[in-house]
Amino acid sequence: MTNILAIETSTDNCSVSVSKGSETLNFHEFIPKKHTERLLGVITNILEESELNYEDLNAVSVGAGPGSYTGIRLSCAVAQGIAFAHGLKGITLSSLELLALEVYKRTSANTVVSLLETSSNQVYVGESSFNSGDIESTFSLIDINSFQVENYPVETYFVGQGCSLFSDIKDSLPEEFPRASSLIDITNLRISKDQLVEPEKFLPIYLNNEDSWKKIK
Protein backbone atom coordinates (compact mmCIF):
# COMPACT_ATOMS: atom_id res chain seq x y z
CA MET A 1 0.00 0.00 0.00
CA THR A 2 1.35 3.42 -1.03
CA ASN A 3 0.77 6.46 1.18
CA ILE A 4 1.34 9.94 -0.28
CA LEU A 5 1.15 13.46 1.16
CA ALA A 6 0.52 16.24 -1.40
CA ILE A 7 0.68 19.99 -0.73
CA GLU A 8 -0.37 22.97 -2.89
CA THR A 9 -0.47 26.59 -1.65
CA SER A 10 0.43 28.67 -4.71
CA THR A 11 -2.90 30.58 -4.72
CA ASP A 12 -5.33 31.87 -2.08
CA ASN A 13 -6.52 28.28 -1.70
CA CYS A 14 -4.79 25.93 0.73
CA SER A 15 -4.94 22.40 -0.66
CA VAL A 16 -3.64 19.24 1.03
CA SER A 17 -4.33 15.61 0.09
CA VAL A 18 -3.34 12.30 1.63
CA SER A 19 -3.70 9.01 -0.20
CA LYS A 20 -3.78 5.78 1.78
CA GLY A 21 -3.70 3.01 -0.77
CA SER A 22 -6.74 3.55 -2.98
CA GLU A 23 -8.40 6.04 -0.61
CA THR A 24 -7.74 9.79 -0.70
CA LEU A 25 -8.69 12.50 1.78
CA ASN A 26 -8.67 16.12 0.61
CA PHE A 27 -8.60 19.54 2.24
CA HIS A 28 -9.25 22.48 -0.09
CA GLU A 29 -10.19 25.84 1.38
CA PHE A 30 -10.03 29.50 0.36
CA ILE A 31 -7.93 31.12 3.12
CA PRO A 32 -6.11 34.19 1.73
CA LYS A 33 -2.92 35.14 3.62
CA LYS A 34 -3.44 32.41 6.25
CA HIS A 35 -1.42 29.58 4.71
CA THR A 36 1.55 30.07 7.02
CA GLU A 37 -0.50 29.81 10.20
CA ARG A 38 -2.78 27.03 8.97
CA LEU A 39 -0.75 24.63 6.79
CA LEU A 40 1.00 22.49 9.42
CA GLY A 41 -2.23 22.11 11.38
CA VAL A 42 -4.09 21.05 8.24
CA ILE A 43 -1.42 18.44 7.48
CA THR A 44 -1.55 17.10 11.05
CA ASN A 45 -5.34 16.87 10.98
CA ILE A 46 -5.59 15.15 7.62
CA LEU A 47 -2.91 12.60 8.56
CA GLU A 48 -4.77 11.85 11.80
CA GLU A 49 -8.03 11.49 9.88
CA SER A 50 -6.27 9.05 7.54
CA GLU A 51 -4.86 7.18 10.57
CA LEU A 52 -1.34 7.75 9.29
CA ASN A 53 1.87 9.07 10.81
CA TYR A 54 4.70 10.75 8.90
CA GLU A 55 6.61 7.46 9.25
CA ASP A 56 3.90 5.71 7.23
CA LEU A 57 4.37 7.93 4.16
CA ASN A 58 6.08 6.68 1.00
CA ALA A 59 6.33 10.02 -0.81
CA VAL A 60 5.74 13.76 -0.45
CA SER A 61 4.65 15.81 -3.44
CA VAL A 62 4.30 19.54 -3.85
CA GLY A 63 2.85 22.14 -6.19
CA ALA A 64 5.82 24.44 -6.75
CA GLY A 65 4.26 27.45 -8.49
CA PRO A 66 4.36 29.86 -10.15
CA GLY A 67 2.05 31.87 -7.96
CA SER A 68 2.20 33.58 -4.60
CA TYR A 69 5.86 33.89 -3.58
CA THR A 70 4.98 33.27 0.06
CA GLY A 71 2.73 30.35 -0.81
CA ILE A 72 5.16 28.45 -3.01
CA ARG A 73 8.11 29.04 -0.69
CA LEU A 74 5.99 27.73 2.18
CA SER A 75 4.80 24.57 0.43
CA CYS A 76 8.27 23.68 -0.85
CA ALA A 77 9.90 24.32 2.54
CA VAL A 78 7.32 22.25 4.43
CA ALA A 79 7.54 19.40 1.90
CA GLN A 80 11.35 19.49 2.08
CA GLY A 81 11.32 19.47 5.87
CA ILE A 82 9.01 16.47 6.05
CA ALA A 83 10.92 14.59 3.36
CA PHE A 84 14.35 15.22 4.88
CA ALA A 85 13.14 14.32 8.37
CA HIS A 86 11.63 11.01 7.27
CA GLY A 87 13.90 9.95 4.41
CA LEU A 88 11.31 10.46 1.67
CA LYS A 89 11.42 11.33 -2.00
CA GLY A 90 8.64 12.84 -4.09
CA ILE A 91 7.78 15.02 -7.06
CA THR A 92 7.12 18.66 -7.83
CA LEU A 93 4.63 19.86 -10.41
CA SER A 94 3.86 23.38 -11.51
CA SER A 95 0.57 24.86 -10.33
CA LEU A 96 -0.15 25.35 -14.05
CA GLU A 97 0.20 21.59 -14.56
CA LEU A 98 -2.14 20.89 -11.66
CA LEU A 99 -4.77 23.03 -13.37
CA ALA A 100 -4.25 21.10 -16.61
CA LEU A 101 -4.62 17.80 -14.78
CA GLU A 102 -8.02 18.88 -13.46
CA VAL A 103 -9.15 19.40 -17.06
CA TYR A 104 -7.64 16.11 -18.18
CA LYS A 105 -9.46 14.19 -15.44
CA ARG A 106 -12.80 15.75 -16.36
CA THR A 107 -12.64 15.96 -20.14
CA SER A 108 -9.72 13.79 -21.40
CA ALA A 109 -8.60 16.85 -23.42
CA ASN A 110 -5.10 16.19 -24.70
CA THR A 111 -4.04 19.84 -25.11
CA VAL A 112 -4.63 22.23 -22.21
CA VAL A 113 -3.54 25.83 -21.70
CA SER A 114 -3.49 27.02 -18.08
CA LEU A 115 -3.76 30.75 -17.34
CA LEU A 116 -3.08 32.54 -14.05
CA GLU A 117 -3.27 36.32 -13.82
CA THR A 118 -0.51 38.23 -12.02
CA SER A 119 -0.68 41.64 -10.33
CA SER A 120 1.53 43.23 -13.02
CA ASN A 121 -0.69 43.07 -16.12
CA GLN A 122 0.86 39.77 -17.11
CA VAL A 123 -0.34 36.18 -17.25
CA TYR A 124 1.35 32.88 -16.44
CA VAL A 125 0.80 30.50 -19.35
CA GLY A 126 1.25 26.74 -19.17
CA GLU A 127 0.90 24.58 -22.28
CA SER A 128 0.40 20.93 -21.34
CA SER A 129 -0.06 17.67 -23.20
CA PHE A 130 -0.56 14.13 -21.93
CA ASN A 131 1.00 10.78 -22.75
CA SER A 132 -0.08 7.56 -21.01
CA GLY A 133 -1.42 9.56 -18.08
CA ASP A 134 1.76 11.59 -17.53
CA ILE A 135 2.16 15.27 -18.31
CA GLU A 136 4.68 17.36 -20.24
CA SER A 137 4.54 21.14 -20.19
CA THR A 138 6.13 24.42 -21.17
CA PHE A 139 5.65 27.66 -19.25
CA SER A 140 5.92 31.38 -19.87
CA LEU A 141 5.10 34.73 -18.34
CA ILE A 142 3.81 37.21 -20.92
CA ASP A 143 2.02 40.53 -21.15
CA ILE A 144 -1.75 40.12 -21.23
CA ASN A 145 -1.98 42.06 -24.48
CA SER A 146 0.48 39.66 -26.13
CA PHE A 147 -1.59 36.53 -25.52
CA GLN A 148 -3.48 35.45 -28.64
CA VAL A 149 -6.20 32.80 -28.26
CA GLU A 150 -6.36 32.30 -32.04
CA ASN A 151 -2.81 30.92 -32.00
CA TYR A 152 -4.11 27.69 -30.45
CA PRO A 153 -5.97 24.83 -32.18
CA VAL A 154 -9.76 24.89 -31.79
CA GLU A 155 -9.69 21.72 -29.66
CA THR A 156 -7.53 23.43 -27.01
CA TYR A 157 -9.09 23.59 -23.55
CA PHE A 158 -8.30 26.55 -21.27
CA VAL A 159 -8.30 26.57 -17.48
CA GLY A 160 -7.62 28.98 -14.60
CA GLN A 161 -8.80 32.37 -13.42
CA GLY A 162 -6.75 34.03 -16.17
CA CYS A 163 -9.37 32.82 -18.67
CA SER A 164 -11.64 35.67 -17.59
CA LEU A 165 -9.18 38.13 -19.19
CA PHE A 166 -9.96 36.91 -22.71
CA SER A 167 -13.51 37.12 -24.06
CA ASP A 168 -12.75 34.87 -27.04
CA ILE A 169 -11.94 31.82 -24.90
CA LYS A 170 -14.78 29.29 -25.16
CA ASP A 171 -13.95 25.83 -23.75
CA SER A 172 -12.68 26.66 -20.28
CA LEU A 173 -12.82 26.14 -16.52
CA PRO A 174 -12.20 29.73 -15.36
CA GLU A 175 -13.03 29.16 -11.69
CA GLU A 176 -10.66 26.25 -11.18
CA PHE A 177 -7.68 26.46 -8.81
CA PRO A 178 -4.70 24.09 -8.46
CA ARG A 179 -5.53 21.14 -6.23
CA ALA A 180 -3.18 18.88 -4.27
CA SER A 181 -5.31 15.88 -5.22
CA SER A 182 -4.05 16.19 -8.80
CA LEU A 183 -0.56 15.36 -7.54
CA ILE A 184 -1.59 11.92 -6.26
CA ASP A 185 -2.07 10.06 -9.56
CA ILE A 186 1.10 11.49 -11.09
CA THR A 187 3.08 10.60 -7.96
CA ASN A 188 1.85 7.00 -8.13
CA LEU A 189 2.80 6.91 -11.82
CA ARG A 190 6.27 8.30 -11.13
CA ILE A 191 6.71 5.77 -8.29
CA SER A 192 5.97 2.96 -10.76
CA LYS A 193 8.61 4.42 -13.11
CA ASP A 194 11.13 4.97 -10.30
CA GLN A 195 11.13 8.70 -11.11
CA LEU A 196 10.82 10.28 -7.67
CA VAL A 197 13.33 13.02 -6.85
CA GLU A 198 15.29 13.90 -3.73
CA PRO A 199 13.85 16.66 -1.49
CA GLU A 200 16.63 19.12 -2.35
CA LYS A 201 14.90 19.34 -5.74
CA PHE A 202 11.64 20.53 -4.19
CA LEU A 203 12.24 24.08 -5.42
CA PRO A 204 9.81 26.93 -6.13
CA ILE A 205 9.15 27.73 -9.78
CA TYR A 206 9.57 31.46 -10.35
CA LEU A 207 8.87 32.56 -13.90
CA ASN A 208 10.40 35.66 -15.42
CA ASN A 209 11.07 36.54 -19.02
CA GLU A 210 14.41 34.71 -18.99
CA ASP A 211 12.62 31.52 -17.91
CA SER A 212 10.05 31.67 -20.71
CA TRP A 213 9.30 28.37 -22.39
CA LYS A 214 11.37 26.34 -20.00
CA LYS A 215 10.43 22.72 -20.59
CA ILE A 216 9.73 20.66 -17.50
CA LYS A 217 8.97 16.93 -17.48
Asked whether the beta carbons of 141 and 211 are under 8 A apart, the reply is: yes
- The pLDDT tens digits of the residues spanning 171-203 come to 888 888 999 999 999 999 999 999 999 999 999
- The pLDDT tens digits of the residues spanning 136-149 come to 999 999 999 999 99
Core vs surface per residue 38-57: b (16+ CB within 10 A) or e: ebeebbeebbeebebebeeb
- Give the C-alpha separation, 212 to 165, whole Å: 20
Residue 60: pLDDT above 90? yes
Residue 209: pLDDT above 70? no
Q: Quick check: helix, strand or coil at residue 205?
A: coil
What end-to-end distance do the CA atoms of the chain give, in Å? 26
Average pLDDT, the chain: 92
Residues 6 or more apart from 72 whose CB is under 8 A from it? 9, 10, 63, 64, 65, 66, 95, 204, 205, 206
pLDDT of residue 59: 98
pLDDT of residue 211: 42
Residues 6 or more apart from 73 whose CB is under 8 A from it? 204
For residues 118-122, average pLDDT: 86
What CA–CA distances, in Å, run from 64 to 70, 94, 96, 116, 178? 11, 5, 9, 14, 11
Domain architecture of the chain: domains with CATH: 3-94+178-205 (3.30.420.40), 95-173 (3.30.420.40)
Q: Is the pTM of this model over 0.85?
A: yes
Q: Is 32 exposed, middle or buried (0-12, 13-18, 19+ CB in 10 A)?
A: exposed
Residue 63: pLDDT above 90? yes
Asked whether the beta carbons of 90 and 33 are under 8 A apart, the reply is: no
For residues 64-86, average pLDDT: 96
Residue 208: pLDDT above 70? no
